[in-house]
Structure 1
Amino acid sequence: MDTEKIGITTNYITLGQFLKLANVVESGGMVKLFLADYEVFINDEQDQRRGRKLYPGDQINIPDVGLFEVCAEEAM
């Protein structure tokens, strides 16, 4: 499975914001429901906190959805 790179222009992004930016969910209101139904692994550790801070270099694996990596916008 190919890793999709998601660029951010800030120091970090929350998991909820990331899910919207990566087009995994359509709106912020859907984040809580999505996290209740799907396992999310950040750097190979399961984490369902929508406020979890993600930094460039973090890898997000959502089984049956995709594999993503947070990148600094300049690095893209």
Structure 2
Amino acid sequence: MTRIDFELDRDYVELNQLLKLTGLCDSGGQGKQIVASGAVYVDGQQELRKTCKIHAGQIVRLEDVEIRVVSA
């Protein structure tokens, strides 16, 4: 499994934007499609809300990639 530490420099980041900012997709729109497909998990639970607010301390998983969101 690949792990990515994402430093959050604000209160939250929207899930589709997180996928874009970490390089897992090319655009926010593509991020929305990935979330809608049911492939994204937040803290172990499937997440279907495309603009779900992700805060520091949460873990996002897409296939074999784990994104740990940490405070900047």
- Structure 2 length as normaliser, TM-score? 0.86
How many equivalent pairs are there? 72
Compare the two structures and name the one with the higher helix fraction: 1
TM-score (norm. length: structure 1): 0.82
Runs of 4+, deviation exceeding 3 Å: none
Runs of at least 5 residues in structure 2 that lack an aligned partner in the other structure: none
Root-mean-square deviation over aligned CA pairs? 1.5
- Give the share of equivalent positions with the same residue, in percent: 26
Letter in 1 for 2:48: Q
**Residue 41 (structure 1) shift:** 0.8
Which of structures 1 and 2 has the bigger CA Rg? 1
- In 1, are the aligned partners of 2:34 and 2:40 still within 8 Å (CA)? no
Q: Is the 8 A contact 2:42 2:60 kept in 1?
A: yes
Q: Which runs of 5+ in 1 are unaligned?
A: none
Q: Is the 8 A contact 2:16 2:29 kept in 1?
A: no
